[in-house]
Structure 1
Amino acid sequence: MNDVESTSITDLSTPALEKPIETSGLGQWMSVFAVALGAFAFVTTEYLPVGILPQIASELGVTDGTAGLMVTIPGIVAAISAPTVMIGAGKVNRRHLLILLAVLLVASNLISAVAPNLLTMLLGRGLLGVALGGFWAIAIAAAGRLVTRDKAAKATAIIFAGITFATVLGVPFGTFISTLFSWRASFLATAALALIALAAQMMTLPSLAANESLQVKTLLRYLGKNSTQRSILLMGLIIAAHFASYTYIAPFLVQRAGFSASGITLTLLGFGVLGMLANFLVSASVTRHLQLSLAGAVLLMIASLVSLPWVVDSGAGVIAAVLVWGVAYGAIPLALSTWMQLTSPQLPEASSAMLVTTFQIAIASGSLLGGMIVDGYGIEPTLFFGAVLGGLGLVAMATFGLGHDRLINKLQG
């Protein structure tokens, strides 16, 4: 994990919680890796349907667009649960909450694995949303308490590395398992992964008592800022642009580009690997030129989305466009995370809660609108729709003016 991300995220973990737990060095790091494994399991489960969506849709007897609700529903529920858990957790021990949320993750995967119809599937995915939003709301704040204060940045970086590896491996992993067995086996595999994470947390997490939780008035004060509102709009548009198209990338590769299951697995793996590399390489640029870095990444994504329908007859062209898209999206979450944290360094828990909420709402709305377009007009139009949303995100960014120092003043003013 890069220095920018670890430093900025660490700032979210200090205000409302007690001093770090005093345990042995080995015990501290074992608990950190246990939470990181939980992060990997959560994000893998969230993105799992993307690579196996056509198979699920076929067996459950629904359209690809309707099957996209498997991405939409957990996003909506997680958007609600993130601030709700942060506000409602009160003085409940964070260890108990993290373990409970891991149990819900296991249950979600098991329900999805045996789902006989779409309704049952969406019930399992909704349960994922509850666990997902709550996990990030608690894990971000608890990360810095698992080790001594001087090691908090490193601990937070390790936990968030779980996201990176899940982004790289999660979707290709699910696709690969489904080609060997079935899509149901993919959910069983993620259930096993979640169970391992649960066991690791039960064995290693120390008591994480809390003194207070995020207050409603604090969250409302943060949301009342004009810079916060515009930043939320900016983030929502860009993330929705990605997921309006990415949710249906597997149907596009199968139906329009004629890719095999193994071809999809390798292409999505390449998407993830290049995205991970971009996340690391762009860190210095994000620190010094946040607007330029984010704008460049969004423009790359738009170019990829627009080009895909035109290169559909060329396998190499499709792969190249998807890989460029991977580079673009690899840089986007880091830039947006840094942007949102700059909106209110003095209210880190509020910005943390809204970061999770906005991200999940954008995932849900993007996949939902994309699914409606896929069912009504075909897959190519949703790629153009994603490009339009990305363009609107650039317009929202332009309202902050130009210049790094000016941007920071406007975000924090």
Structure 2
Amino acid sequence: MVPSERHPQNPASWSPNSTRTNKEIYNRHRATPNPAESVTFPKLAVTFAEIRILSLLRRPHVAFAMLAVMLTFGGAFAVFTYFRPFFETYTHADASELSFLLLGMGLAGFAGTYGASAVVNKRLYRLMMGMPVALAGVTLALLPAGHNLWTVAILVIVWGAINAAIPVAWSTWLSKAVRDKPESGGGLMVASIQLSIMLGAELGGALIDHFSIGAAFIGGVALMLFSAIIIGSGKRIQPDT
């Protein structure tokens, strides 16, 4: 029995009477490169970038700062994510009033960014501790004033200005506290903020599902106050000299 050329790579199909021609056919097929085997994949360069970024957490001031960052942004987004249902259920805002409130918050962000940039270098740590407290206070004030459209509009504008100033302060801290590894520090901060946004929104949603929008706001306030406690006078998040 002569082995079929369709299965030349199966030595078990050779009969004891395999001839030289059969072996030549087999060897010829073996010498033909298999397209699947000739495909080469680029080697992944192991840069250990993730390890380098996480190694920054060994520095106590960075670890405290990232915890404070996550609490601040997590608390803010536990509130911010659910502003619309708050406006619709507490303030009973219609579509145009809702657009007005959100537009005012957005425009206030420009003022908050500009104002923080003007004073952040002189009073960095006071701002970093004070802004979460101020944001928590405005959030609490929204609950009893939620039924008055104009009061809510003023509070929302203040809330938007403070919220926009917080990233300015943390960016300035990063440039001062992680000077030797700005890229790794920036990556760590971005990852911390993104994770905190997800967790904060999830916390707010869980509190709304089980309790109320007011509970979500109070939960966000608690996170922001914890952040202020961690920051304190700023010594915990200052690099060792």
- What is the identity, as a one-letter code, of the residue corresponding to 1:237? L
- What is the identity, as a one-letter code, of the residue corresponding to 1:323? I
Q: State the Cα distance separating 1:217 from its structure 2 match.
A: 4.2
SS of equivalent residue, structure 1 residue 287? coil
Contact 2:54/2:188 (<8 A) preserved: no
Q: Which of 71, 77, 82 is matched with 1:237 structurally?
A: 71
State the distance in 2 between where 1:291 and 1:377 align: 35
Q: State the Cα distance separating 1:313 from its structure 2 match.
A: 1.9
State the distance in 1 between where 2:60 and 2:133 align: 25
Contact 2:129/2:232 (<8 A) preserved: no
Q: Which of 225, 246, 255 is matched with 2:59 structurally?
A: 225
Q: 1:320 is matched with which residue?
A: 154
Q: 2:22 is matched with which residue?
A: none
Provide Cα deviations, 1:49-76, integer angstroms capped at 9, x if missing partner. xxxxxxxxxxxxxxxxxxxxxxxxxxxx
- What is the identity, as a one-letter code, of the residue corresponding to 1:330? A
Contact 2:120/2:169 (<8 A) preserved: yes
State the distance in 2 between where 1:224 and 1:258 align: 49
The alignment status of 1:353 with 2:165, answered yes or no, reads no
Describe how 1:391-402 pairs up with structure 2 within 5 A: 391-398=225-232, 400-401=234-235
State the distance in 2 between where 1:314 and 1:89 align: 59
Q: 2:204 is matched with which residue?
A: 370
Contact 2:91/2:149 (<8 A) preserved: yes
State the distance in 2 between where 1:301 and 1:321 align: 10
Contact 1:274/1:327 (<8 A) preserved: yes
The alignment status of 1:341 with 2:169, answered yes or no, reads no
Describe how 1:65-104 pairs up with structure 2 within 5 A: none
TM-score, structure 1 as length reference: 0.46
State the distance in 1 between where 2:199 and 2:176 align: 25
Q: State the Cα distance separating 1:331 from its structure 2 match.
A: 0.6
TM-score, structure 2 as length reference: 0.76
Q: State the Cα distance separating 1:297 from its structure 2 match.
A: 2.1
SS of equivalent residue, structure 1 residue 265? helix
Q: 1:277 to 1:214 in 2, by over 3 A?
A: farther
Aligned Cα RMSD in Å?
2.2
Structure 1 stretches of 5 or more lacking a match?
1-87, 91-211, 402-406
State the distance in 2 between where 1:89 and 1:279 align: 41
- What is the identity, as a one-letter code, of the residue corresponding to 1:254? E
The alignment status of 1:306 with 2:179, answered yes or no, reads no
Provide Cα deviations, 1:144-183, integer angstroms capped at 9, x if missing partner. xxxxxxxxxxxxxxxxxxxxxxxxxxxxxxxxxxxxxxxx
Q: 1:411 is matched with which residue?
A: 239
Q: 1:216 to 1:257 in 2, by over 3 A?
A: closer
State the distance in 1 between where 2:110 and 2:234 align: 28
Larger-gyration structure (1/2): 2
Q: 1:312 to 1:235 in 2, by over 3 A?
A: same
Query: Which one has the bigger helix percentage?
Result: 1
Q: State the Cα distance separating 1:306 from its structure 2 match.
A: 0.4
Describe how 1:155-170 pairs up with structure 2 within 5 A: none
How much identity, in percent, do the aligned residues show?
A: 25
Higher relative contact order (CA 8 A, sep 6+): 2
For these two proteins, the number of residue pairs brought into alignment is: 199
**Ranges of 4+ aligned residues in structure 1 off by more than 4 Å:** none
Provide Cα deviations, 1:274-316, integer angstroms capped at 9, x if missing partner. 1111101211311111011223322221111101110022111
Q: 1:383 to 1:347 in 2, by over 3 A?
A: same
Structure 2 stretches of 5 or more lacking a match?
1-42
Q: Which of 85, 91, 94 is matched with 1:251 structurally?
A: 85
State the distance in 2 between where 1:326 and 1:215 align: 35
- What is the identity, as a one-letter code, of the residue corresponding to 1:411? P
Q: 1:375 to 1:294 in 2, by over 3 A?
A: same
Q: State the Cα distance separating 1:320 from its structure 2 match.
A: 1.3
